[in-house]
Amino acid sequence: MPKPLFRGVCASSVTPFRPDDSLDLDRLGPHLEWLIQERVDAISPLGSSGEFVAMECDDRKRVLAAAISKIAGRVHVVAGTHDYSTRRTQELSQFAEAEGADSLLIVPPYYMAPTPHQVMDHYRRIAEKVSIPILVYHNIPLTSVDLKTEHLLKLYEEGAIGGVKMSNPEPDRICELLQATNGQFFVYAGIDTVAFEGLCHGAAGWISGIPSTVPSAAKDLYNAIAVEGDLVKARALWKKLAPLMRLQFQAYHSRGEGAHWFSTMKAALNMIGPPVGDPAPPILPLPDSIRPTLIRLLKDLGYQVKEA
């Protein structure tokens, strides 16, 4: 039987690249070890932070195989097996399951903006090929697909999906799903701007930038809300985390210039953990003008920073 879906904090691991944009899998192991030491409950290789869109399928398989082997069952593995093509998504999903992934994270087919009916059929056809749970990666801005509550619940009732990573800025989308299923559906806060509210509503966990960048700080917030029920403590923790969230999603929310969420993430990881290199172009390294602010925020959260 497949493992149950996880509760808690999930880090989306990054993919290290060399300066020539080839994979640097030698750096992947130390990065994963650091995430585990930071007390994550799950790791998702090849989520958005894994830069799967910058890779061909064979390289995605190499990353998945290496990550699952390195993690070695110590935490839940949510393998990102997304692709526009249903056939390639099936192939990647079957590969991940065979390698030992515990569940799958799959974004809806992007660019061509299929209808909800077509997207639902996409997930059904993937589910026919695997036996481990599928999480829908609900990400409207980057896919132009909005599966509503009724669509997600139908897929869940059919057994095609086990949960959803809700990267939607409306907290009530999380609340509505949880209320409709009495909390049985695994809903995860998928963007940091709704993490506090989502966890208070009873979300199963948190998969986003903050848990992937400063996992231990994210785990403290999760525990304060979901385990201890201590909102006073949680508010104090979020007051320290929120400035990093606002910096990280500066360009994303403005659709303009500023800190790019992934440039910020990789820069932060290089400062406080084992080196993971720069993003693959077209995403560029974090500008020098933003680095002092990032350093200050990381220090405020208690991390030792390698400023050089």
Residue 294 counted as domain residue: no
What dihedral do alpha carbons 99, 105, 108, 111 form, nearest 10°?
-70
**Does 295 fall in a domain?**
no
| Within a domain: 128 | yes
Q: Is the pLDDT of residue 2 over 80?
A: no
246 domain residue, yes or no: no
What confidence score (pLDDT) does residue 98 get? 98
> In this predicted structure, what is the pLDDT of residue 251?
85
Domain count, the chain: 1
92-114 mean pLDDT: 97
117 CB contacts (<8 Å, ≥6 apart)? none
Judge whether 244 lies within some domain.
no
Catalytic residue among 61, 70, 165, 266: 165
CATH code for position 103: 3.20.20.70
pLDDT at 86 over 80: yes
Active-site residue identified among 123, 137, 188, 222: 137
Neighbouring-strand partners of residue 78: 103
For residue 97, tell me if it sits in a domain. yes
Interatomic CA distance for residues 222 and 8, integer angstroms: 7
Whole-prediction pTM value?
Answer: 0.96
Task: State residue 183's pLDDT score.
Answer: 80
Active site (annotated) includes residue 239:
no
Distance (Å, whole) CA 35 – CA 67: 12
What pLDDT score was predicted for residue 308? 58
Residue 1 is predicted with a pLDDT of 47
Rounded mean pLDDT of 202-207?
Answer: 97
Give the least confident one: 4-13, 186-195, 226-235, 247-256.
247-256
The DSSP-derived string for 90-108 is HHHHHHHHHHT-SEEEEPP
Structural domain contains residue 77 = yes
Joined together, the tokens standing for residue 248 give 């990280």
- Does a structural domain hold residue 306? no
Closest CA to 289 of 273, 256, 267: 267
165 is catalytic: yes
76 lies in which domain range? 8-230
